[in-house]
Amino acid sequence: MKLMINQPSQFLALLSFCSIFFLVVSEDPYRFFDWNITYGDIYPLGVKQRGILINGQFPGPEIYSVTNDNLIINVHNSLPEPFLLSWNGVQQRRNSYQDGVYGTTCPIPPGKNFTYTLQVKDQIGSFFYFPSLAFHKAAGGFGSIKILSRPRIPVPFPDPADDYTFLIGDWYNIDNTKLSKVLDFGHRLPFPQAVLINGRAQGTAFTVEQGKTYRLRISNVGLQNTLNFRIQDHIMKLVEVEGTHTVQTSYSSIDVHVGQSYSVLITADQAPKDYYIVASTRFTDRTLTSTAAFHYSNSQQPLSGPIPGGPTTQIDWSIQQARSIRTNLTASGPRPNPQGSYHYGMINISRTITLQSSAAQVNGKQRYAVNSVSFIPADTPLKLADYFKIDGVFQVGSIPDSPSGKPMYLDTSVMGADFRAFVEIVFQNHENIVQSWHIDGYSFWVVGMDGGAWTPNSRNQYNLRDAVSRSTTQVYPKSWTAIYMALDNVGMWNVRSEFWSRQYLGQQFYLRVYSDAGSIRDEYPIPKNALLCGKAVGRETRPL
C-alpha cells in the first residue's frame, strides 16, 4: 500500500506525528519520588535524639532505578532552615545544576520545595544520597541508590536471591546543630559515639535461605572513619565498586572508606544459625563496633559467642587490599561494549594536578585546605554566577595546580579545566590520617598509591591496564594516590574531602570544566525551575 501525501499540510502533520512517535518510543523511563524532609525522633543508640527524616524514615527511602532512567525527585523542605540533597557518585552528565551542593544549586528555603530532574545516564552500580548543607549529614537524611543494568546487558554473575543494602557509618549522639557550632567556634569534633548499620547500632537482622547467594551493597555514609565490614564465618566476593564491575576476588573482610560503595556476593553456605554482621572503625585508637544478624531462615541458634575481630590499625593490609581491586575487563558496563575497551593507559596526559591537604589555624580557628587554600562559600552558587556572568563571585584559577608552600588562607577556590582534556591528579597526604577524596560528576581510574612523596618516577608503578574506576578514593597516611580522569563532563564540579568536618571547614574546591561551544551537546541549559539566590535573584532562567 502506498501512502499518498497531496498537500503540504498533510506532510507537516505526518512529520509532526512521526516526531512525537519517535520521541515517545525512544525516551527513557521516568521514576517519580515525592519526599518530605522533617526533623523527628530517632533512636539509633536506644535513646531519643533528633534526626532528619525523609517521609518519616531514617535512613531515607531507597532509590531503585535502571540505567538511563530519569529520576524526578520532588523535595519538600519542612525544616526550619535551608536544605539540599546531593547524589554521591551519580554523574549528572552535562547537568551540574542538579548536583545538589551549594556551589551549583541554591538551597531549598524552609517551607518550599524543589524538584530535582536527574538521569542516571550510562551508569550502573551502588551509590547513595545525603544532605550537603550545614552539618545535616550528622543527623541523617541519607539513603541508598541502586542502578541496575538494562535487561539486554549481561551482568557477570547470576541473579542473586535478594539484594540487601548496608548503610554503615560513624555516629554522634550529639545534635547536628551543636556539632556545627563546635566547628564554627574553631574547634575539632570529639571522637564519635558509635557505628550504625542501617540507622541502628545493633538489633538489625537480614534473613537468608541456606544455599542461596545474595548481593550486599555496602556504603560508608559516615562523617570521618574508615570502617571494616565482615560477616562471621562467611566469605564475600567483590563484584562491583561505584559502578564498575570488578575482578571477582574473595575477601573475609573489606575496608570501606568514607563515601565509598561496594557490592559483594555472599552465599549462605554455613550451618543454619545466626551469624554476626560487623562494622568496626579502622585506624583509630579506640575501636567502635556495631553488629547485625545474618539470620538463616531455618536457624535454631541466635547470635552467641564473641564478636569476630577484624583488622584495626594495619595500614599495609588495607593498601594491599586496595591494590587488589581491579576492573573486570571482560564484563559489560552500562553499555554492551566491554568496560576495558577504553584504553585509558594509552592516552597522553595533558596536565598533572597535585592536590595536597593541610590543617592549620586561620584567625584563631581550625581550618583545612587544599594547596593552602581553605574554601569559603560565595554569596551565590558558582554555577549560577557562571551562567549569568555575574562578576565578583569567584575567580577561575584561585587555587593553584600544585602546592604553593604559602601559609593557609581563605578564598572561594575554583580551578579551571578544558573540556575533553585527559588529566592526572595526585592526592598527596603528609598527615598521619587516612583521607578520603571524592569528585562529583566523574568516575576516575585509581592508577597508583604508595607511601612517601609522589615523584614523576612514581608513574613506573602505575596500573595502566585494569585499574578500578570509581568516584571516591582513599589516601593513606604520609602517602599518595594517583588517578587518571577524562574531563568529558562540562560543568562546575565539587572536589572534596569526604571527612565532613574537613569539608565543612574548607577542604574542598570546584573544578570548572568549560566548553566555549555553548552547545546543548556539551551541557544542558539551566533548568526552568532552578532556584535563584544571592546575586542571581531577579534573573530569568528559561521560558516555561
The reported pLDDT for the residue numbered 88 is 98
Q: What angle do CA 217, 137, 118 make, to 5 degrees?
A: 65
Fold of 344-536: Immunoglobulin-like (2.60.40)
Nearest Cα to Cα of residue 88 among 293, 232, 330, 257 = 257
Q: Tell me the pLDDT band of 10, cut-offs 50, 70 and 90.
A: very low
The reported pLDDT for the residue numbered 338 is 61
Q: Tell me the pLDDT band of 543, cut-offs 50, 70 and 90.
A: low
Statement: residue 414 has pLDDT above 60 = yes
Beta strand 413-418 pairing with 395-396: parallel
DSSP per-residue codes, 316-382: HHHHHHHHH-BB-TTSB-SSSSBGGGS-GGGSPP-EEEEEEEEEEEETTEEEEEETTEEE---SS-H
Statement: residue 121 has pLDDT above 80 = yes
Question: Which residue would you say has higher pLDDT here, 21 or 349?
Answer: 349
* Cβ-Cβ contacts under 8 Å for 222 (sequence gap 6 or more): 168, 169, 170, 171, 192, 195, 258
Element of type H or E holding 126 = strand 125-131
Distance CA 96, CA 105 (A): 9
Distance CA 113, CA 20 (A): 31
Statement: residue 26 has pLDDT above 90 = no
Q: Tell me the pLDDT band of 544, cut-offs 50, 70 and 90.
A: low
Q: Are 79 and 462 in contact (CB under 8 A)?
A: no
Q: SS3 for 208?
A: strand
Cell of 291: 553488629
User: How far is residue 281 CA from its own chain's centroid?
Assistant: 20
Nearest Cα to Cα of residue 142 among 229, 96, 83 = 83
For the domain made up of 30-148, the CATH class stated in words is mainly beta
Distance CA 164, CA 14 (A): 49
The reported pLDDT for the residue numbered 340 is 62
Distance CA 490, CA 513 (A): 5
pTM passes above 0.75: yes
Beta strand 113-119 pairing with 143-148: unpaired
Fold of 162-319: Immunoglobulin-like (2.60.40)
Mean pLDDT of 375-386: 98
Cell of 458: 612514581
The reported pLDDT for the residue numbered 46 is 94
3-state secondary structure string across 429-494: ECCCCCEEEEECCCCEEEEEEEECCCCHHHHHHCCCCCECEECEEEECCCEEEEEEEECCCCEEEE
Rg of the chain on CA atoms, in Å: 24
**From-to residues of CATH 2.60.40.420 in the chain:** 30-148, 162-319, 344-536
